[in-house]
Amino acid sequence: MNSKLMLSAAIAACVAMLSACATTPEPEPPPAEDVTPLPSTFLERLSADGLFAFGKSGIDDLSDEGRMALDELAARLAERPVEIVHVIGHSDRLGSPTAIHRVSSERANAVRDYLIERGVPEERITAVGRGAVEPVVECEGRASQETIDCLAPNRRVEVRVKFAD
């Protein structure tokens, strides 16, 4: 065999060996699925002052900020089937016991109605007013602006949710 032919055969053999050794890189593995279980319950605490004007309680009294907070909550509730949604209205201690209980009940019902309008099943949602019996802060004084500001955390609407899954 002549040397040119032998050289060509050797080059062809090297190319074949290099081609056989060439590998394509392994594809990236898919991202791991998030296996963190979703919570089966949660509590949403909404400032009544953020939802309603002071002393107000109707759906027409909702602030823009309040509507946005309730829309976000309704969207979260639409993500999964709910077993129960319990809306609890709270008030501060200022005013007559009748008025305190009335405004906390009206606020709870307004939030309930708003969530029903946004798709929460009516048979899965309850509302109750608790008045001033479950304060989160204690403040001294009468109905001064300082006392009203101090008692703001007590004016709230809590939404307790238990999902069905």
- Higher pLDDT: 6 or 61? It is 61
Is pLDDT above 70 for 80? yes
The reply to whether 36 falls in a domain is no
Q: Are 152 and 47 in contact (CB under 8 A)?
A: yes
Assign residue 144 the CATH number of its domain. 3.30.1330.60
Range of 113's domain? 41-163
Distance CA 104, CA 128 (A): 8
Phi–psi pair at 39, nearest 5 degrees: -65, 145
Annotate 75-106 with DSSP letters as a single string: HHHHTS-EEEEEEEEE--S-S-HHHHHHHHHH
Among 124, 120, 143, 131, CA closest to 48: 131
Residue 154 lies in a domain: yes
pLDDT of residue 25 exceeding 80? no
1 within domain boundaries: no
Q: Is the pLDDT of residue 30 over 90?
A: no
In a domain, 27, yes or no: no
Confidence (pTM): 0.74
Residue 31 domain-assigned (yes or no): no
Please list the residues that pair with 48 across neighbouring strands. Answer: none
pLDDT of residue 51: 84
| 69 in any annotated domain | yes
Q: What is the mean pLDDT of residues 82-89?
A: 96
How many structural domains does the chain have? Answer: 1
Tell me whether residue 21 is in a domain: no
Return the percent helix, strand and coil in the chain, to nearest 5. 45, 20, 35
